[in-house]
Amino acid sequence: MVAHLVRLKLTLLRNSLRRSPWQIVGIVFGALYGLSLLVLLLGALFFLSTTDPELARTAIVLAGAAAVLGWALIPVLASGVDLTLDPARFVTFAVPLPQLLAGLALGGLIGIPGVVTLLAALASAAVWRHSPAAAAAGLLTALIAVFTCVIAARVTVAASTSLASSRRFKDVTGLLAIIPLMLLGPIIGGFSSVSNAGEYLVSLSNTLSWTPLGAAWSVPGDIALGQWGTAAAKLAIAVVFLALLVWAWKVLLVRALVTPPYNAGARRKGGKLGFFGWFPATPTGAVAARALTYWIRDPRYGASLLIIPLLVVVLLFVNNTGGTVVPLLIGPLVAFLLAFGLTADVAYDNTAFALHISTGVSGFADRAGRVLACAVFAVPTVLAATVLPCVLLGETDLLPVLLGVSIGTLLSGLGLSSVVSARYTYNVPLPGENAFKTPPGSGGRTALVQSLGMLAQIVIVLPVVALAAAAVVTGSALLGWLTLAAGVVLGAVLLLAGIRIGGRWMDRRAPELLVAVTVNK
Amino acid sequence: MTDSLPLETPAVPAAPALAIRGLAKRFGEKIAVNGISLDVPAGSFFGLVGPNGAGKTTLLSMATGLLRPEHGQVWVHGTDVWAEPLKAKRLMGVLPDGVRLFDRLTGEQLVTYAGLLRGMDRVTVAERVHDLLEAMDLTKDAGTLVVDYSAGMTKKIALASALIHAPRLLVLDEPFEAVDPVSAANIRDILAGYVANGGTVIVSSHVMDLVQRMCDHVAVVSGGSLLAAGTVDEVRGGQSLEDRFVQLVGGRTHSEGLPWLRTL
């Protein structure tokens, strides 16, 4: 039975490769990435084996704890990374629980992250090759640590899905969980800048080695340093934690197997048309109302919005030297991100897009409505993100230049997105799925469409940027105002052209577009 | 594959609500629809039956402008669907099978959306949305998000979206799947009234009983080809539609069944 589950996972992986060449490209990229990471890790481990064991222990504990934490947290943010072996799918098969657990745990190792973690963990034992006892213990603790990783991932996923019994809860938690992760960098950065980084890391490693995150990783180092008592204590911590994890997983799994996926909310009478009452009763207005409703209600859109303020916070943290360049560039950056987010719009619709085809809505109305919905919140946001830093930093003479670049970027970007999304779709999470899930094997095409799109964006906004650069270099107020005018005029022209071209493409190729977003499922 | 297609030039038929000539489509190696020609008379209640995977959905997708055919042409009341799509789509109401809805809208918003997309004015849309929700027994759930609807309610709200612009031809792919018997009977009444007033309905189904009771015309599709078409009485020729269907499609096994499948 265990072998069956492992084989099932392998078959699913192989079949997913057969679906499209892009899947293979994605997997190859993933494998190359995994391989280079592995080579890097092995190199680092070899270096550690030649240095003093204290340093080696510190490094391994830190890296190992990060691996456990990553395994535990990332799947929650990207829940469904590994739904191929979703326990819910085994409900109707009477698989004995211990075998189901063993099969799912081993199945978790199949895949690039699993293989890299396993190989790197086993290789870490070789660091202690000068001390046979430590090396032998290292092999054992490597296995303990790897299964701690895999099962921790299972437990956090099971816990979050069984907590999330309502759709609304599910929508929100997926989004909120990303916040601490995004802020992790600045927080650690803040710590390391206040104290001596080296000492801080050693003490962090010492603390972690007594927690379940780092205990297993620390055991061989302790043995090599002759601290047998400490080693035994930490081994006990690691084993007990793994046992606790298995028990928790079992409890959650048993509960998941008898609980339906989610309960619907209460019935609600109609009468509230929301944004449909705001916009004019035209096809364009209807598309705008629908799109704006989705920007607010669909967590996949919320995700792309949430990333923006977080990115700004991270940027400001990184920029703790106090320069004015980074804060001033926030406006254009936000404009770019908001406008580019629209490229995924049709892909987000998925097959619901069929309604647009069967109602015969014109491509122009479709494009214009989506742009309108985005503009409703993008224009004030971009204006605020441009004006506020300028005013706060007292750089008001740069305001026209920056406004020109921001507005030019936003408008031309919306035009570009209108063209791109009418033709080039890429894989996005399906409706109702976790907003941060990356569909498997989608890397290649997504990267291609996105990077070409960004390149095009830079090219079309180049005239405005060139004017802006000239204005900043010469300090000429006239050039500054010219930048603003150019940004508004060029942006508006490109926006209109984008909507027209995209609309015409959509009129001609709507059925093909529907096929493309259907393949994404 | 082109050899097997009927290649005679079809004359544009004046009368039929839906005229299909030589429609064909393949997915990779698999031929999903292999040159089907079919007339759906105006004012008929037309059943399209066939086993799973017969190509019903592919055929209807091509006939309604959702999937571009490799060969063949389609006319809705004389308007070529693929040459003048906007004009043809005004005449048609479509309930596709296996596509998602904009399910983060409430039921009321979704039907309103369908009406507004078709360029109807706000007052008419509001009146019709109210009537449709009433008829589908969804008034109490009008403000619930479609994503929280049951399968049957989702079918009904999609049907309401297809009806809002009072089309001359309704193309419904599996409209009764997962719909409870009471709602199904209500929907049948609505459709029968619509046909009595001059509308044309095409439903695909694999429930033969339903088709025999509800429809006046029927076409049998299997393996991407048309096996029989005509009035229900012509096609079934004295037998029940189900027996005639099994006879046409084949595939009944006459073995002993599963001898071990019994309780003691």
Strand order in the sheet with B200-205: B92-95, B169-173, B200-205, B45-49, B217-222, B225-231
- Taking CB atoms and an 8 Å cutoff, what residues of chain A touch B157? none
Over residues B141-164, the mean pLDDT reads 90
- Tokens 């106090």: give the residue: A322
Q: pLDDT digits over B8-47, tens only?
A: 444 444 569 999 999 999 888 888 999 999 999 999 999 9
- The mean of the pLDDT values for chain B is 87
Question: Would you call B38 helix, strand, or coil by DSSP?
Answer: strand
Determine contact: A298 vs chain B, CB below 8 A. Answer: yes
E strand or H helix that includes residue A169: helix A167-176
pLDDT for position A412: 94
Of B92, B122, B147, the CB nearest to A281: B122
DSSP state of A476: -
Question: Would you call A205 helix, strand, or coil by DSSP?
Answer: helix
Is pLDDT larger for residue A382 or for residue A427? A382
- The one-letter code for the residue type at B254 is H
**B143–chain A nearest CA distance, Å:** 4
- Taking CB atoms and an 8 Å cutoff, what residues of chain B touch A358? 64-66, 89, 92, 94, 96, 162
Of A264, A272, A281, the CB nearest to B148: A264
Please count the CA atoms within 13 angstroms of the CA of B173 that sit on its side-chain side: 18
CB contact under 8 A, B104 and A297: yes
* Strand-strand pairing, B225-231 and B169-173: unpaired
**B102–chain A nearest CA distance, Å:** 6
Q: How far is CA A423 from CA A367, A426, B65, in A?
A: 12, 10, 18
Q: What are phi and psi of A272, to 5 degrees?
A: -110, 110
- The one-letter code for the residue type at A371 is V
Residues 252..271 of A with a Cβ closer than 8 Å to B: which? Answer: 264-271
Q: Would you place residue A177 in the very low, low, confident or very high pLDDT band (cuts 50, 70, 90)?
A: low
How many angstroms separate the CA atoms of B60 and B64, rounded?
A: 6
How many angstroms separate the CA atoms of A220 and A56, rounded?
A: 10
How buried is B181 (Cβ within 10 angstroms: 0-12 exposed, 13-18 middle, 19+ buried)?
Answer: exposed
Q: pLDDT digits over A234-293, tens only?
A: 999 999 999 999 998 888 777 766 655 544 455 677 677 888 888 999 999 999 999 999
Closest CA to B167 of B65, B23, B236, B238: B65
Q: Would you place residue A499 in the very low, low, confident or very high pLDDT band (cuts 50, 70, 90)?
A: very high
Q: How far apart are the first and last CA of chain A?
A: 30
Asked if residues B195 and B45 have their Cβ atoms less than 8 Å apart, the reply is yes
Long-range contacts (CB closer than 8 Å, 24 or more residues apart) made by B34-38: B34/B1, B34/B4, B34/B5, B34/B223, B34/B224, B34/B225, B35/B4, B35/B5, B35/B6, B35/B71, B35/B72, B35/B225, B36/B72, B36/B221, B36/B224, B36/B225, B36/B226, B37/B6, B37/B10, B37/B72, B37/B226, B38/B219, B38/B226, B38/B229
**B31–chain A nearest CA distance, Å:** 17
Of B66, B68, B144, the CB nearest to A265: B144
Q: How far is CA A268 from CA A265, A466, B126, B147, in A?
A: 9, 55, 18, 13
Is residue B253 pLDDT above 70, yes or no? no
- Taking CB atoms and an 8 Å cutoff, what residues of chain B touch A359? 89, 114, 117-118
User: A88-97, A133-142, A295-304, A491-500 — which is least confidently predicted?
Assistant: A88-97
Radius of gyration of chain A (CA): 27
How many angstroms separate the CA atoms of A238 and A148, rounded?
A: 8
How many angstroms separate the CA atoms of B15 and A483, rounded?
A: 62
